[in-house]
């Protein structure tokens, strides 16, 4: 590839204030713009702050790209392979990257997703396969990276598939530059996860027996010592267990715990795992994750999603920087997404839910940020349809939080409505740029994304409210958004469709079967139609029995709430779309639904995308889906 492509995409505009390009006019945005892959994903600064590694979309294909900050024309790109995914990348010193890749492979006649680890020099001139011949299915979990500039890591991997001894992952130290490895911790029966401290000592092993549903925590102070059991939990009876995440020099640790009803950050004593000081809790919400300091010996902050995702910084310098950036961007939102070793050089994403936004580089030695790249090269800073958080009460009194997007080109009165439930279902929506939702709003629809009971982020009680309620009260929560918006005069209750993907696709099928009087049509992308078949599929994978326990708890009577077996009750048209390469929800789920609807003589359209996966990683598949969805809506619920 010519370096000019990268120079065009990644060129900096020079120092200056954080700027925003306003919408020049009200001209509609073409569908092709919404289908574009993000210009840059997961940008990460090198420890010295001179290079950025990211995944980039170039001519519709995804590449791993490394760009020197002082010379964007010297950017290098690597495409691992047409059938391999670049799942993650991590700097190890300034000259090397650890890169996790994955691909489908046939093992004993079954198609399985296999992961591997690569050592890649910063100039992307070669790849070093890290112990691939002695690797099982999962072989890419990095636990620690050296802080002295050397290309050393600790990583956990299965060593084969021929025996259970090989399937339990062992921990190795690897030199990315040579590919040489040495064993640090031998695999142990039913130990599936290992945890290391900032000095590279493997401290914790998490043991779980999928047959008995019993869990144990193994502990030691340093490498070379034997592990001892310090905690037990019976998952059959929903017993919890504190798992330390960050190990402090004083012998304590940091961990999340939900004993007060929400995931909060605590100090934990070792090895007795007693909770100490509560370090941070978000009012009414769970914490998302922990951000370690540079030495991995304490926390610099936590990630939180309330109405939107952001970081709460404990590090006073980073807090001061965040406060300054927030003041500079005004109504927009800024999030520090990457930093160098001493946190003096930062990558900051700036945007708003109605704007794709941009990436900025900030050397804190200077007063201004520099524009680095637009997230969408066509939209740039253009502001589209407004997004807000709303609250309503479900019919049984359960409070529901939802994200509402209103079309920018229409008066916000008596609008056609799309109810768009998230997947998961243990997930949630929050205010943020969403290419799918913004396209629907561009067509003229109001879009509401309810965080129905069973969604994540709202504490243990709210999650438990979803147990046994797949397709029942969870469905009611979605339906109850309609009278809420109608009462406010925003939505026309006679012009509503439900659209969703994964669990959201299941909900769309269920709406067509159960509540056709409320909806004019439904669209399911990669939806689940047969819960028993889904359990059998999941049962092939690690912790299959535990996953089955969970699914049975969500829907005790599979058949009663599986849309496939209620095809005769479908009373509205439905569009089914599924990718043949989907390994999370197999394409068979939509094929079975289409066959059942055909047998019942019910109206449906079915599109099978030959190369699509579960996550819309190809721009071509996004575009085909958006066009098909728009045509279907124009026919059955025109805006």
Question: pLDDT tens digits, residue range 538-594?
Answer: 877 777 788 888 888 888 899 999 999 999 999 999 999 999 988 889 999 999 999
Q: Looking at residue 6, what is its pLDDT?
A: 28
DSSP tag of 389: E
38/586 Cα distance (integer angstroms) = 26
pLDDT tier, 20 (very low <50, low <70, confident <90, very high otherwise):
low
Alpha-carbon distance of 44 to 31, in angstroms, equals 30
DSSP line for 284-330: TB-EEEEEE-TTSSSEEEEEEESSSEEEEE-SHHHHHHHHHHHHHHT
66: Cα separation from own chain's centroid:
23
Q: Identify whether the C-beta of residue 374 lies closer than 8 Å to the C-beta of residue 38.
A: no
Which residues on adjacent β-strands are paired with residue 171? 156, 185
Residue 416 tokens read as 């056609």
Distance CA 627, CA 341 (A): 45
State the average pLDDT over residues 91-99: 97
Q: Closest Cα to residue 556, out of 497, 618, 472?
A: 472
Give residue 261's Cα distance to chain centre. 23
Look at residues 24, 21, 26 and name the one whose alpha carbon lies nearest to residue 408. 26
- Contacts made by residues 263-271, CB under 8 angstroms, sequence distance 24+: 263/287, 265/290, 265/299, 265/302, 266/242, 268/242, 268/244, 270/219, 270/244, 271/219, 271/228, 271/230
Percent of the chain with pLDDT over 70: 95
pLDDT tens-digit readout, 622-631: 999 999 999 9
Examine the pLDDT at 365 and tell me if it is beyond 90: no
Strands 521-525 and 491-501: parallel
Closest by CA to 367, choosing from 325, 333, 335, 339, is 325
Q: What pLDDT sits at residue 473?
A: 97
Structural tokens at position 170? 């062992």
Q: Which of 72-86, 264-278, 345-359, 366-380 has the lowest mean pLDDT?
A: 72-86
553, two tokens: 């708890």
Q: What is the pLDDT, as a whole number, of residue 81?
A: 67
Strands of the sheet containing 76-78, edge to edge, are 40-45, 51-58, 61-68, 76-78
pLDDT, residue 2, reads 31
Enclosing H/E stretch for 525:
strand 521-525
* pTM of the entire predicted model: 0.92
pLDDT in tens, 223-271: 999 999 999 999 888 888 999 999 999 999 999 999 999 999 999 999 9
Tokens of 226: 């034997």
Contacts 24+ apart (CB under 8 A), 235-243: 235/208, 235/546, 235/549, 236/549, 239/215, 241/215, 241/217, 241/273, 242/266, 242/268, 242/273, 242/275, 243/195, 243/204, 243/206, 243/217
Q: Give pLDDT tens digits for 475-522.
A: 999 999 999 999 999 999 999 999 999 999 999 999 999 999 999 999
Question: What is the mean predicted confidence (pLDDT) over 43-48?
Answer: 96
Residue % of the chain over a pLDDT of 90: 79
Task: Give the mean pLDDT of 308-316.
Answer: 96
Q: What is the mean pLDDT of residues 157-182?
A: 93
pLDDT digits (tens, 9 = 90+) for 450-471: 999 999 999 999 999 999 999 9
Q: C-alpha distances in angstroms, 268 versus 230, 247, 252, 256, 415?
A: 13, 9, 6, 9, 52
55-64, 199-208, 252-261, 292-301: lowest mean pLDDT where? 55-64
pLDDT in tens, 435-453: 999 999 999 999 999 999 9
Both structure tokens of 218: 């193994």
Q: What is the mean pLDDT of residues 386-406?
A: 98
pLDDT in the model for residue 551 = 85
Which residues on adjacent β-strands are paired with residue 206? 193, 217
Angle between the 531-538 and 588-599 helix axes, to the nearest 10 degrees?
Answer: 160
User: 3-class DSSP state for residue 7?
Assistant: helix
Contact indicator for 171, 185 with CB cutoff of 8 Å: yes
Contact between 577 and 524 (Cβ < 8 Å): yes
- pLDDT-derived band at 4 (thresholds 50, 70, 90) equals very low
The number of beta carbons lying within 10 Å of the beta carbon of residue 346 is: 22
Across the chain, what does the average pLDDT equal?
91
| Confidence label for 110 from pLDDT (cuts 50, 70 and 90) | confident
The Cα–Cα gap between 218 and 553 comes to 29
pLDDT at 18: 54
């Amino acid at each position: 590839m010519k370096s000019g492509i990268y120079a065009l995409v990644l060129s900096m505009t020079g120092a200056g204030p954080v700027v925003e390009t306003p919408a020049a006019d009200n001209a509609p945005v073409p569908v092709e713009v919404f289908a574009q892959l993000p210009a840059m994903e997961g940008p990460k600064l090198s420890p010295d702050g001179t290079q950025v590694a990211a995944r980039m979309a170039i001519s519709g294909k995804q590449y791993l790209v490394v760009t020197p900050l002082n010379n964007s024309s010297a950017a290098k790109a690597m495409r691992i392979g047409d059938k391999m995914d670049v799942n993650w990348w991590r700097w190890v010193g300034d000259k090397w990257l650890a890169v996790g890749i994955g691909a489908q492979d046939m093992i004993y006649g079954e198609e399985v997703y296999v992961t591997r680890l690569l050592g890649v020099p910063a100039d992307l001139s070669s790849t070093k396969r890290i112990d691939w011949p002695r690797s099982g299915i999962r072989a890419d979990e990095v636990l620690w990276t050296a802080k002295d500039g050397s290309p050393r890591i600790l990583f956990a991997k299965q060593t084969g598939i021929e025996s259970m001894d090989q399937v339990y992952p062992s921990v190795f130290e690897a030199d990315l530059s040579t590919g040489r490895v040495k064993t640090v911790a031998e695999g142990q029966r039913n130990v599936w996860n290992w945890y290391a401290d900032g000095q590279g000592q493997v401290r914790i092993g998490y043991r779980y027996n999928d047959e008995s549903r019993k869990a144990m925590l193994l502990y030691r102070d340093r490498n070379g010592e034997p592990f001892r059991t310090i905690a037990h939990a019976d998952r059959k009876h929903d017993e919890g267990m504190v798992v330390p995440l960050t190990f402090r020099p004083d012998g304590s640790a940091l961990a999340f715990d939900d004993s007060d009803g929400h995931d909060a950050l605590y100090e934990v004593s070792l090895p007795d795992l007693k909770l100490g000081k509560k370090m941070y809790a978000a009012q009414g919400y769970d914490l998302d994750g922990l951000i370690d300091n540079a030495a991995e010996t304490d926390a610099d902050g936590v990630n939180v999603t309330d109405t939107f995702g952001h970081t709460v910084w404990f590090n006073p310098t980073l807090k001061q920087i965040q406060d300054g950036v927030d003041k500079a961007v005004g109504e927009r939102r800024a999030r520090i997404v990457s930093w160098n070793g001493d946190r003096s050089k930062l990558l900051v994403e700036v945007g708003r839910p109605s704007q794709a936004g941009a990436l900025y580089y900030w050397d804190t030695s200077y007063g201004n940020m520099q524009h680095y790249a637009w997230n969408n090269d066509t939209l740039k800073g253009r502001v589209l349809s407004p997004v807000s958080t709303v609250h309503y009460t479900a019919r049984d009194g359960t409070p529901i939080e939802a994200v509402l997007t209103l079309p920018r080109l229409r008066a916000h009165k008596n609008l056609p409505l799309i109810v768009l439930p998230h997947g998961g279902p243990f997930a949630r929506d929050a205010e943020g740029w969403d290419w799918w939702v913004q396209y629907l709003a561009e067509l003229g629809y109001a879009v509401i994304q309810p965080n129905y009971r069973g969604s994540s982020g709202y504490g243990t009680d709210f999650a438990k409210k979803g147990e046994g309620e797949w397709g029942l009260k969870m469905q009611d929560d979605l339906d109850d958004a309609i009278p809420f918006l109608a009462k406010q005069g925003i939505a026309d209750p006679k012009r509503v469709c439900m659209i969703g993907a994964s669990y959201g696709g299941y909900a769309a099928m269920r709406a067509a079967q159960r509540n056709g009087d409320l909806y004019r049509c439904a669209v399911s992308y990669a939806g689940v139609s047969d819960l028993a078949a889904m359990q059998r599929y999941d049962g092939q994978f690690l912790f299959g029995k535990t996953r089955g326990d969970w699914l049975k708890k969500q829907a005790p009577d599979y058949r009663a709430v599986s849309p496939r077996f209620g095809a005769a009750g479908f009373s509205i048209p439905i569009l089914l779309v599924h990718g043949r390469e989907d390994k999370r929800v197999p394409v068979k789920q939509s094929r079975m639904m289409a066959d059942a609807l055909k047998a019942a003589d019910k109206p449906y359209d079915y599109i099978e995308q030959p190369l699509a996966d579960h996550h819309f990683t190809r721009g071509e598949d996004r575009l085909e889906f958006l066009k098909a969805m728009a045509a279907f809506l124009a026919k059955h619920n025109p805006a």
